Structure 1
Amino acid sequence: MTDQKGSTVGTGRVFGFRIFRPILAGATLRERLVACLGALIGIALTGLVCGWAFGEGVHIPLIVAPMGASAVLLFAVPASPLAQPWSVIGGNTISAFMGVIAARFVPDPIVAIGVGVALAIAAMSVTRSLHPPGGAAALTALIGGHAATSAGFLFPLFPVCVNSVILVTLGVAFHKLSGRSYPHAPVERPVNDHGTSDLPAALRVGFRDEDVDAALTAMNETLDIDRTDLDRLLRQVELQALVHAHRGLACEDVMSRDVVTIAEGATIEQATAVLLDRNIRTLPVVDGEGRLLGTVGLRELAKRGASRVADAVVGAKTAGRNDPAVGLVGTLTDGRTHAIVVVSVDRLILGVITQTDLLATLARQATLRAIGRNPGPAAA
């Protein structure tokens, strides 16, 4: 059989693991396995802790069903706005309260379940705690049996709120141990470091906030992604497209190889003189074996109390010789970084790429591409 592009695809491949391909952007098999392990540990420990603390009588449910859905979000998509601590704890608890209110004031059970879920959505929206399992928490308060209905307004606190707090606490610990970031903190957008009202260089060209808002309006969809994360994703897509267009250009093709360095034991005066005499802005600092320790500039050298270069050195931005040179655009346009040091595996300096180096190379490549597409009379 053939796929949409006309290429042959094996039947076994189509009906094998391919059908289990995750539909979430960025999802991998490893991420899903980590999510399964996290859910296993989180739900099991939540039940154990509640059973140990409150007993296991039939009149007290150890754990409510919505926790299973909360675990899916918390462990499988921890970056989702719907999976953040306030969404899990607040969404479940507030929704359970809405379910209890509906049960108390709406006599018809069929109408009450609809009212309960509707009130839950409204309350979560107002309190910015939207969490899909909250709808199930509201229903549990309505149709969860005698243990839920007899508890009344205590039910949202225990077991719903207690379950949620324990699950989130375990989620924070699990993600930290597994090297994942939770709670999710959107990366702050670049700011102008020069104290002016201009946008940072990286934000002046390309799409703007109003373009993203207009696109979202045109799509008429609600996306499960933070607004700042969406902006960051789109800018990364732009950068990857640029890298793809210049994929043959490596750092070793662009870098300056005759690198001016200074020893860590040099004085502040010596380093300042090198920067001014050589007309450079970033000076790599090396140890006795010539390995990179960091960099200094005039800003660092002006630091109070520093007498030697070692007192002022800061971490260096580095790259490998075979890394795509265009991939450095984001770093070299952040308003703070003026040069990137190209190093070997053992931190020996191979070269330096400055803003000027990269700009000149990209300008030349753009010119050559334009000439290739639009040959002049001499080339005809």
Structure 2
Amino acid sequence: MRIDMKRVLRERLPGLWRPVGMAIDRRERLRVVCGAGLGLGLAAWLSHLLAPWGAPWPWLVAPIGASTVLIFAVPASPLAQPWAVVVGNTVSAAFGVACVRALPHQPELAAALAVAGAIALMLLTRSLHPPGGAAALLMVLVGASDWRVVLAPVALNSVLLVAAGVIYNTATGRRYPHVATPAAAPPSTLETFAEADLDAVLARYNQVLDVPRDDLGELVRAAQEQAHRRRMQTLRCRDLMTPDPHAVEFGTSLQEAWALMRRHRIKALPVVDRYRHLVGIVTQADFLRHAGLDDRPGGLDGIEGRLKRLLQPTPGPRSDKPEVVGQIMTRKVRVVSAERPLADLVPLFSAGGHHHLPIIGPGNRLMGMLTQADLVAALASPGARVITIRD
């Protein structure tokens, strides 16, 4: 596959000097700094106290400083968990000692093999911990060939630092160790992704993430909810409505109006005058009510017969039943403006009992139609483009 190096450099070179943003406040920064100082100080003091008397190596190793950053600054990171810290540092230091013993006169080769082998062992033991690479390299640089250095100070430093991290992070409201929570119950139909979707994306990404899987899922959901709230406030009725909907006039026959509703599979028709000014609305419920089907239930034959009698035009100038839309329509219609936020419509549809809302513009002119199904479609797709569903 051909790689456009110019494009790659143009896109990635700014990242070499552009600092990464950190969305934490001053209180969290103070918590991290104080924890690092207290935790490392306690681990150092106890390590010095417990160090083997007369040992020719230091009682504190430098990679523990990097472990401190992970434990107190990013305690939720998989790289900062107790298993990763203790096992990662220990096996890495052990492999570094092995390289020193195997290649005592080739420090360059021993350094390269120590770091590479340490990474392989950490991946094998599921204990990837970046300071582990430094621990392996340190063994080569100081020429440590005594296996005891692996236990003290490396393993001892790691255990004591983890203990300090558990105490401090717990006391300051941070979950450490960060045990992954079990997968939640199957998502509702309103969620846009499931646990299996997240797993599939992570498998395709195929890189080590410094975020635990459960936190990543929560972050995705929280971002979706935030985007959904923002979207519901920014969306206007005009963005979701059906523009220029089918409409009828006062004198449209019932037969014609009913045929129009059946043909387009809609349950309501706005009633307008010749200038598209809204004068009412006619719904399927209006037809059923005037056909006498709301208070006299009957079988399918009875329903069809009564509707047929209602829709059949009466010959002659006189009639004892409604003949045109204007005689059965609802005159008092709840309308909303095209610029009204979509969020305002939730109580109208949920508590107000409305199923269809005509959207009007200047001069009470009909601009569009909004239904419950449209609102449900917007609610059901918080992270996607609105898909309008007609009912």
TM-score category, normalised to shorter length: 0.5 to 0.7
- Write the deviation string for residues 41-60 of structure 1: whole angstroms up to 9, x where unpaired: 11111121122223675724
1:231 to 195, 217, 236: 217
Residue 134 of structure 1 aligns with which residue? 132
CA distance in 2 between counterparts of 1:357 and 1:160 reads: 63
- Output the aligned Cα RMSD: 3.6
* Cα separation, partners in 2 of 1:62 and 1:234, compared to 1, 3 Å: same
Q: Compute the displacement of 1:33 (Å).
A: 1.6
Within 1, Cα distance between the matches of 2:213 and 2:354?
36
For the structure 1 residues 55 and 95, does the alpha-carbon distance in structure 2 shift closer, same or farther, using more than 3 Å as the test?
closer
Paired residue type of 2:39: G
Structure 2: gaps (5+ residues): 1-16, 235-342, 369-391
Asked if the contact 1:95–1:120 (Cα under 8 Å) also holds between the matched residues in 2, the reply is: yes
1:360 aligns with 2:357: no
Structure 1 residue 69 and structure 2 residue 66: aligned?
yes
2:158 corresponds in structure 1 to 164
8 Å contact kept, 2:66–2:131: yes
- The 2-side partners of 1:372 and 1:114 are apart by 73
**Cα distance in 2, alignment partners of residues 363 and 133 from structure 1:** 62
The aligned residue for residue 119 of structure 2 is 121
Q: For residue 210 of structure 2, give the secondary structure of its aligned residue in structure 1.
A: coil
TM-score (structure 2 length as normaliser) = 0.53
Residue 184 of structure 2 is aligned to residue 187 of structure 1: no
Does the CA contact (< 8 Å) of 1:87 and 1:129 recur in 2? Answer: yes
Asked whether 1:86 is paired with 2:72, we answer no
1:201 aligns with one of 151, 164, 188: 188
Local SS of the residue matching 1:100 = helix
SS at match of 1:379: strand
Q: Which residue of 2 aligns with 1:240?
A: 226
Pairs aligned (count): 239
| Partner Cα separation in structure 1 for residue 66 and residue 18 of structure 2 | 20
Shift of 1:28: 2.5
Q: Relative contact order (C-alpha < 8 Å, sep 6+): which is higher? A: 2
Give the corresponding residue for 1:175: 169
Report the AA paired with residue 132 of structure 2: G
Structure 1 unpaired stretches of 5+: 1-18, 192-198, 249-325, 327-355
Indicate how the Cα distance of structure 1 residues 246 and 62 shifts in structure 2: closer, same or farther if over 3 A, else same.
same
Alpha-carbon offset, residue 86 of structure 1? 0.4
Q: What is the CA distance between 1:153 and its match in structure 2? A: 1.3
Per-residue displacement from partner, 1:25-49 (whole Å, max 9, x unpaired)? x433222221111111111111211
State the distance in 1 between where 2:48 and 2:94 align.
23
How far apart in 1 are the matches of 2:348 and 2:137? 59
Looking at structure 1, the residues matched to 56 and 348 of structure 2 have their Cα atoms a distance apart, in angstroms, of 70
Runs of 4+ in 1 over 6 A off after TM superposition: 19-22, 356-359, 361-365
Shift of 1:164: 0.3
Confirm or deny: 8 A CA contact 1:93 1:156 kept in the other structure. yes
Secondary structure of 2:182's aligned partner = coil
Contact 1:22 1:28 in 2 (8 A): no
Once the two structures are TM-superposed, the CA of residue 209 in structure 1 deviates from its matched residue by 4.2
Q: Partners of 2:352 and 2:57 in 1: how far apart? A: 68
Tell which structure's C-alpha radius of gyration is larger: 2
